[in-house]
Every structure is written in structure tokens, then in C-alpha cells.
Structure 1
Amino acid sequence: MDKNRIITIANQKGGVGKTTTAINLATALAAIGERVLIVDLDPQGNASTGLGIDRKSRKLSSYDVLMGYNTINEVAMETAVPNLSIVPSTMDLLGFEMEISQSSDRAFRLRRALSTPEATGYSYILLDCPPSFNLLTMNAMAGAHSVLVPLQCEFFALEGLSQLLDTVDQVRRTVNPLLDIQGIVLTMFDARNNLAQQVVSDVRTYLGEKVYHTLIPRNVRVSEAPSYGKPAILYDLKCAGSQAYLQLASEVIQRERRRKAA
């Protein structure tokens, strides 16, 4: 049985709430006593910024881990959230693909780093991916047990989802046959919008139990939180978005219990 759970948070489409989900799900899991690590694999570094890690203080980054220069423990930084650490990102990641494109192990750099004893000390490791399917996302999927997909409640959602599921199938066939769909999280839900209601209905019909019951609402407080370098759950615990992420964390843990019992 796996000592920890490594979850890639991915969607090829930008602006669907990937990083917001990574930050707030990690915070919610940490708040209930789990030891959690985020690995920021997006050169923009929004997960690092959103957890209050100043760019000047990022002496080492996920780039150093992927290149094999440093271990997870050497790079991971503590955040203001107890039990939550992050391997931050820097713009160095932009050169990663070009530097190792000829290496035979190019898709497995992160898997190797995450299979060390120090990485198994975390209960959950969340991998925050860039909004594209590149070598960084491939490394995340090759190194993870499962993929969690944030999906915006909007017109093109299902089209993007089918592309992502094709990508997961491709990764299964080539580099990680055990990769599973952890679940689909519906984000930016507006109950007043008929289209949003229709998207929820369509996605649930299409994917059934894979879709989490929790709907993450559009919420101003959640949008504001990163500019203060805080997860929404620390910025405003009582807002609808924070409450939804706490509920999502509870669902994730329940599913993990069921999976382990199976």
C-alpha cells in the first residue's frame, strides 16, 4: 500500500482554478492534521506566490529537483499554514524542457525525486501543473498516483475534459499504467446561471461517480486571497469558497479511505 498519495492537479485549459484548488485543498488537508506538500511545476509560480513565498526567497526550486541538483527536503519551504510545505517554482523551469529533451529519463525525473524516503513522509503531495501538456505535466503524471481535474462550469468544459482524458489514457499507455482519475472538481459555479447548471448535469451524466459532489462557487474572497499571499481558508474561513474547499478535502479523504479498504 502506498505510504502517501501523490495527486497531479491538471487541466490543459488556463483559468479553471487549478492553482486555487491546489492551494486551498492542500490547506484544508493540512488543517485536519495531514502532512502536505505542494510541488509548484508552473514557471509562473502562482502557487508559491499564493502561499506567501516571496520570489526573492526562492533560492532553490522545483527546477533543481527535476534536474537532480537537490532533493525534495533541501528545496521544500514551510508556509504560514502548519503541516503545509511547498517546493516553489521559478522561471528557471522555462528552460527545463529544452535542457533535457534528449535525455532517456526525461519523463521520470519527478517520479525519482518523489520515490525517496523523505517524500514518503508526506501524507499528500499535490503537483500543480502549467496550463498545457508539456514535459512538466508529463513528469507530474508519470510521478503521480492520480489526476484531479478542476473543471470550470462553462460552455467548452466538456470539450476540454475529453482532451484531458485522452491525455491521461496516453500517459497510461506510455509512462504510468497505474495512473487513475482521482476526481473532477467543478469550479467557478454560479447557481444563478442556467448554463452552469447544465454543465454540472452534463459532466455528472458523462462521468458519474468520478465527479465530486462539492461545487466550488465563484467567490470574490477566494479571488482576493492570493494577492495577500494567503489561501482563501486563512484569508476568510467563513466565505462560501473556503467552506467548499473544506468540504472537498473531506470528500478526498473519504474516497482515499474507501480506496484503501477496497
Structure 2
Amino acid sequence: MPPSSSDSTPTGPKIFAIANQKGGVGKTTTAINLATALAAVGERVLLIDLDPQGNASTGLGIARNERSPGSYEFLLGLSTLDEAIRPSQIPGLSVMPASVSLAGAEIELIDMERREHRLAEGLTAPASDARSRWDTVLIDCPPSLGLVTLNALVAVDAVLVPLQAEFLALEGIGALSNTVERVKKVLNRKLHIAGVILTMVDRRMTLSQQVEADVRAHFGDLVFGTTIPRNVRIAEAPSHGLPVLIYDNACAGSQAYILLASEFIRRRRTAAEAAQQQVSHEPAS
């Protein structure tokens, strides 16, 4: 196994939800390819597929008959973490796959104790302790706010928001921002939006340029400098069960995700250093 990139440098938050209550924004594509790019630089990465459609599992080549036990069983306490994860074809990247059974979890969770904390408690149990086993855990959320997504928001340190460069983009992120604030107040005090990732950007189109300008004006430094372009190779890759970084490493989409991973690592390191400085300046109790 490659050495962890966090052995000698602070890495900041480790568990991230990749979420947007609006569908079709490149959420799963970002989850797959950011995870792959991080694994390629030596990180130990776990990608948890919490979307019943299982697109992240498909995009990493996990066959449908190999997805149980997976996130459904783990969320309901029917399997251990080790039973629910699979190695992927990418060295350093493990996957907790999703099956269609996950669609029923919304109903089954309703009557369970601490129903919003099932995922968080599973990932932090002494026998599991995902924070010590992986440098980064990415959770691909369904495009809706239900108990499954709520479990993800309670379990993570922060949220990454893919945002399609289109006219209605700000509406989707507004709803998610409100959700994050509500969850932070009641269930997860550390929760925050770590960054907004502009996807499907086509700078040949005036509309795309205007949306990007509006998003950057509204969210400022929260928006990643790296943008993900519209790219046919990104769209083709999942049908081959491959991340675009493996399907065509030289294409514009692959290069963008490599740059995004580098920026992600820099931002996380900066956040960790800021947190350490804050702790060092706090008066002793």
C-alpha cells in the first residue's frame, strides 16, 4: 500500500459528503474521479455510494451481483464495515457499493433509534474507525434530502458541492446551504460547506461564463479555482466501468480532475493548519 500523504503533513477534515439536492450536476462523476485522483497520489481513499441508483459503484466497475453487503446493510447494522467494502481496480481506493435495496432504507430507518446517526456511529466504532484507516472518505449522496442523505451530513466533517454551470444552479445550492445550516445547529456542529465545484463548464457559451461569474461573486473563495469542463470522454467513461482518469488520462476532463485533487489537498492542508493555530491560541482550561 502506498504511504499515506498524511503521515508527515496535516490533512484537515477527512470525511466529506459530495452532495447537491439538484440532480444531474456531475455529483457522482466528481466523487469517482476525485477519489481516483487522490488514490493516484498515494492517499488511502474510501468511496461510499449512498445513492440507490448505484452509479458510483457502476462507474468503478462493481458488478450489480457484487454489491451486497454494501451501504444498505452497513447503514442498517446488518454488516460490518469490512464486510461492506470492496477493493476497486484503483490501488488505494476502496468502495462501499450501493444496491437498489438502499431505496427502502428511508422507510426502515424511521423507527430505528438514533436514526440520523447510524452511518456516523458505524464509521467511528472502535472496530471500524474510518478516520484512522483512510486519509479521505468521500460519500456520494442521493439527489434528495431524506434520512439517507441526513445520515451522510451527520457523519461528515464537510460538504463538497458540485454545481453545474447553468441558469438554475444557484437555486439548488441555496436549498442545500439551508439544509447544512439546519443540520449544523441540531446534529453536527462541525458541518460546513468546504467548497463549490463548477462542473460542465463550457466557456464558449456566454451563459456558462455568466453563471461562473455569478457563482464566484456570490460564494467567493468557497468556489474552487479548478473547473470541470464539458467533455465527451467524461460522459463515456462510466459505461466502461472506469473513472475518466483511467479511461482517457490525457483528455481535458481527466486533467481537470487531477488539478481539482491538487487544489483539494492544498485547501485541506490550509484548513488543518488554521485549526491547529486556533487550538494553540486557546487558553488552557
**TM-score, normalisation: structure 2:** 0.90
1:87-102 to 2 correspondences below 5 Å: 87-102=96-111
Q: Which has the larger radius of gyration?
A: 2
* Count of aligned pairs: 262
CA contact (8 A) 2:68 2:99 kept: no
SS at 1:15 equivalent: coil
SS at 2:61 equivalent: coil
SS at 1:7 equivalent: strand
- The residue that corresponds to 1:164 in the other structure is 176
Matched, 1:37 2:46: yes
Task: Deviation per CA, 1:188-226: give whole Å up to 9, x if none.
Answer: 000111111111111111110100000100000000000
SS at 2:195 equivalent: strand
- The residue that corresponds to 2:152 in the other structure is 140
SS at 2:193 equivalent: strand
- The residue that corresponds to 1:113 in the other structure is 122
Matched, 1:59 2:71: no
2-structure distance, mates of 1:243, 1:60: 34
Match of 1:193 among 181, 205, 214: 205
2-structure distance, mates of 1:134, 1:159: 19
SS at 2:224 equivalent: strand
2-structure distance, mates of 1:134, 1:253: 30
- The residue that corresponds to 2:277 in the other structure is none
SS at 1:183 equivalent: strand
1-structure distance, mates of 2:242, 2:161: 22
> What is the CA-CA distance between 1:28 and the residue it aligns to?
0.2
Shifted more, 125-134 versus 99-108: the winner is 99-108
SS at 1:189 equivalent: coil
AA aligned opposite 2:167: F
Per the alignment, do residues 72 and 3 of structure 1 end up closer, same or farther by CA in structure 2, a change over 3 Å counting? farther
Unaligned runs of 5+ in 2: 1-9, 275-285
> What is the CA-CA distance between 1:129 and the residue it aligns to?
0.5
CA contact (8 A) 2:11 2:268 kept: no
2-structure distance, mates of 1:100, 1:172: 21
CA contact (8 A) 2:198 2:212 kept: yes
2-structure distance, mates of 1:207, 1:3: 21
Name the % identity: 53
SS at 1:22 equivalent: helix
- The residue that corresponds to 2:282 in the other structure is none
2-structure distance, mates of 1:167, 1:58: 30
> What is the CA-CA distance between 1:103 and the residue it aligns to?
2.3
- The residue that corresponds to 1:19 in the other structure is 28
1-structure distance, mates of 2:123, 2:195: 22
> What is the CA-CA distance between 1:59 and the residue it aligns to?
2.7
Shifted more, 113-122 versus 228-237: the winner is 113-122
> What is the CA-CA distance between 1:102 and the residue it aligns to?
2.1
AA aligned opposite 2:61: G
- The residue that corresponds to 1:218 in the other structure is 230
**TM-score, normalisation: structure 1:** 0.97
- The residue that corresponds to 2:136 in the other structure is 124
> What is the CA-CA distance between 1:32 and the residue it aligns to?
0.2
- The residue that corresponds to 2:216 in the other structure is 204
